[in-house]
Structure 1
């Protein structure tokens, strides 16, 4: 009985195993698929005829399209997407990018632009800085009037496309939320240092934040307190969140 059972098992395994003919057919199909892919990469069957850019402002979209112009005429299958991603993200105004091969002839590009939050000022020079700390572009004096100014020390080096560092980076982090959630009073500029962060309002009054700690809490306190202050108030000090103080003279 055992011998018969074993023979039956061997017979079943033999029936389940693929035949030589099936293996040959499978290999042939695999080779055909590989050959078709290689042929498609090397022909104009899927050549890029159109590059669409979605997401950024028009002037940034033009910059992206210019960087990607060499892809026209190349096969969608042969594109070096990591290399293209690095080239596009090297643009100062681009935070991130995603590609989609929209067959048969379109390269679709989705761009996340950098978000401007302030204008850096140093003497007569001006630069636009993003929430990420990246310097997007240089500006003419008076551009972007609705963004607050951060006055730089003379020894601070600024390069378009690079991220600011140190105390200035912390200062940018402080003001970034004010673009989407502004204070009740309009902010004109920011003074910053190792132990000082002071928002100067359009009225000339100051909101003193102290050091970089608890910046979200301090901004929220200022947002709640400012509407209740008297018109002659010259400063609001929230550097110690547990004990906010307001005064009528800046030297207080």
Structure 2
């Protein structure tokens, strides 16, 4: 009995020491293992571009209505020639039944804008200026006859619009806009009217169009603008051609200028 108890005591002591050793070794091993590092945060969605530019071609379709005013032309009778105009006199009077047309243009266009939000942007547009030919309309038995060139105008116009972009259709992103359009002249060439000048003015513009984005940065666009501009031009002489030449005389053209501007090309956002 004594021997059996002693054997049991020895076994229990061995098991206890073995457990103590195993626990100690496990603690040392745990201390040597580095603690796991926290996983890096996943990157958030890429911020949308703020700036954009559009480059393309533009066609301007004229729609305008003009009223003409001029001083009456005085003349003298020259033997063998007849009545020769020499100068304008008195106040300017309306030329009833007469008007004017402006030629249409086809040129290069550019637009630039900034997104304040994913939907709202401020945009400025322009185009390479081309000469507009202004021709008189309506019958007259005296010069200038219908179809005569009154003058040629090299205009400048800068539409500035606030634009709302519809982004819920994926790659196709229609937009609507409206704003102002400062307009001015770069130069005026003489025609029948000489010494011409067009006053700077500010009109209104309505805009509609769409971008189709092939990628985050590149796309194509179609844009339509309607301008509403009241324009006033003046001149200081009339050119009757040889042998009479130019005589003094004041004239005014008042135009309600409402062209359509169609443009298309490439969009780049950054």
Tell me the TM-score normalized by structure 2. Answer: 0.23
Tell me the TM-score normalized by structure 1. Answer: 0.24
Please identify the structure whose Cα radius of gyration is greater: 2
Give the structure with the larger strand fraction.
Answer: 2
With CA pairs under 8 Å and 6+ residues apart, which has the higher RCO, 1 or 2?
A: 2
Give the structure with the larger helix fraction.
Answer: 1
